[in-house]
Amino acid sequence: MGNVTVIGAQWGDEGKGKVIDWLADRADVVVRFQGGNNAGHTIVVGNTEYRFSLLPSGVAQGKLSVIGNGVVVDPWSLMAEIARVRGQGLTITPEVLVLADTAALVLPLHRDLDAAREARAGAGKIGTTGRGIGPAYEDKVGRRAIRFCDLADETALEFKIERLLAHHQPLRHGLDLPEITADEILEQLREVAPQVAPFIQPAWRVLDAAQKANRQILFEGAQAVMLDVDHGTYPYVTSSNTVAGQAAAGAGVGPSAAGYVLGIVKAYTTRVGEGPFPSELHDETGEKLGQRGAEFGTVTGRKRRCGWFDAVLVRQSVAVSGVNGVVLTKLDVLDGFETLKICVGYRLGDEVLDYLPAGMREQAAVIPIYEEIEGWNGITHKARSWRDLPAAAVKYVRRIEELIGAQIALVTTSPEREDIIMMRDPFRG
C-alpha cells in the first residue's frame, strides 16, 4: 500500500473533492500542497454538504490534515471556514489540523491589489477570483512575504511589514488605492495570530514522522494541470504549480513520496473564467451539460463554460504530470445524449496538431477535430459496478482510455460518496 497524489487534469472543477473524500477514508493523512482559498471542493456526506477552500478534505473524516508550505493562506478565511464546518458538526483541533509554519499569508492588501489590477485590465483581465492569491505568491517568490512562523516574533514582523510595504505602497498609489500603514497591518496580524497559533507546526516534521511510521498519505491538489503557471494556458492560469511534481515541494517531502498519481477528469470539459477552450459549446448542448452537471463554481459561484471531452488536452496533462491512473467523473451527466463527441486533435491553419500549443494566440485559434461516438439511452446514474453500465457507456469510457494514454481507475456516477466504480485501487498502485 502506497501514497496517492490527486490532481485535476483539465481546468479544475473535475470533482476532486468527492474522490479525495472517498480516498481519505482509506488514508491516514491528507495534505493540501498548493493554491489558496481560490480553490474549492464540495463533499456530500449523507445529507450534509461540506464546502472546503483551505481545509484539506480529510477533516470531514477526522483524519490528520496538513496545509503544506506550498499553500498561501488567508488566515481570516481559514478561521471563518473552520467556524463554518464546526457549525456543521466537524471537530477541528490541532490534533486534526496542521498548518505549515513556512506557509505564506494572504493579507487584505493582496486582495486589494488583485481586485484593482483586474479592474484596471479591462478586456485584458485574466479572470482571477479576486482573493489575493496571485499577489501573495508574487510576494513569496519576491522574498517579502509574511509567513506563519513570523507571527510569533513581533520584532521580525515589524521589519518584514516595512519591507512588504516598500513594494506595495507604490503599487497602491498607481492604482488609486488608499495608503496603508505598517501599524494597520500589525494590528490585523496581532488580532488573528492567537487564533491560528495552535495549528502552526513544522509540517515537514509531521509528514516525515508519518512516513517513517508507514502511514498512508493522500496529497490533495487544487485547480488543475491546465491552470498550472508553467504548463497551463498561460496567462489564463493560477499562480502556483498544480502538477503532481508540486506535491513534494509544497508539502516538504521527497519526490518518491507522491506515490500513485491519480488524475481527475470529467466525462466532458468545463472551465471557469477567461482563457482558451477549444471544445467549448455555445449552443443548447452546452447549456444542457451545464444544467445537468450543476456547473457553478464552488468558491465563486460563477457559471462554468461547458464543452465536449478534449482528449488532446487530457493526454497532455497525463504526460506533464506523470499520471498513473484516471478518475472519470460525472459520467451520468451524459445519460440520454444520442451522440457524443470527443476532441481528438486540433486544426491550426493548414496544420493538424496532437497537442495544445503554448502561444496565447495559437491556443485561441485552434479548431477542434471531433470523433463522434454513439450515446446511450440507459442509465449510468448511481451505478456502482462495471456491469451496471450500458454497453455504449462502456465503449465511451474505453475510447477515452485509448485516446488519453492512461488507464481509467475509477468512474463516478453521482455526487454521492459511494457511487463509484473502481477498476483499479490507487493505493495498491
- Residue range 40-51, pLDDT digits in tens: 777 777 778 888
Is residue 212 scored above 90 in pLDDT?
A: yes
pLDDT in tens, 243-302: 999 999 999 999 999 999 999 999 999 998 889 999 999 999 999 999 999 898 666 667
Residue 106: DSSP 8-state: P
Local confidence band at 124 (pLDDT 50, 70, 90 cut-offs): confident
Q: Are 205 and 64 in contact (CB under 8 A)?
A: no
Is residue 25 scored above 90 in pLDDT?
A: no
Domain boundaries of the chain, sorted by first residue: 4-100+200-260, 104-196, 265-428
13 assigned to active site: yes
41 assigned to active site: yes
Q: Evaluate whether the domain defined by 265-428 bears CATH number 3.90.170.10.
A: yes
Which residue in this structure is represented by grid cell 485559434? 365
Instruction: Look at residue 369 in the predicted model and tell me its pLDDT.
Output: 98
Prediction pTM value: 0.93
Which residue in this structure is represented by grid cell 468558491? 299
Is residue 39 scored above 80 in pLDDT?
A: no
Instruction: Look at residue 416 in the predicted model and tell me its pLDDT.
Output: 82
| pLDDT (mean) for 140-166 | 96
Give me the helix-helix angle, 311-321 and 391-404, nearest 10°. 50
Looking at every residue in the chain, the average pLDDT score rounds to: 93
C-alpha span between 152 and 154 (Å, rounded): 6
* CATH architecture for segment(s) 4-100+200-260: 3-Layer(aba) Sandwich (3.40)
Which residue in this structure is represented by grid cell 505598517? 182
Of 296, 286, 276, 302, whose CA–CA distance to 366 is shortest?
A: 276
Report CA-CA distances (Å) from 331 to 34, 248, 398: 28, 31, 13
Cell of 134: 496571485
Among residues 13, 74, 150, 310, the one annotated as catalytic is 13
Beta 41-45 vs 48-52: how paired, if at all? antiparallel
Q: Are 41 and 17 in contact (CB under 8 A)?
A: yes
Local confidence band at 415 (pLDDT 50, 70, 90 cut-offs): confident
C-alpha span between 18 and 396 (Å, rounded): 22
CATH number of the 104-196 domain? 1.10.300.10
Cell of 246: 508540486
4-100+200-260 and 104-196: identical CATH topology: no
Cell of 305: 463554460
pLDDT in tens, 365-408: 999 999 999 999 999 999 999 999 999 999 999 999 999 999 99
Angle CA 141–145–150, to nearest 5:
135
Is residue 241 scored above 70 in pLDDT?
A: yes
Among residues 21, 41, 139, 228, the one annotated as catalytic is 41
Instruction: Look at residue 418 in the predicted model and tell me its pLDDT.
Output: 85
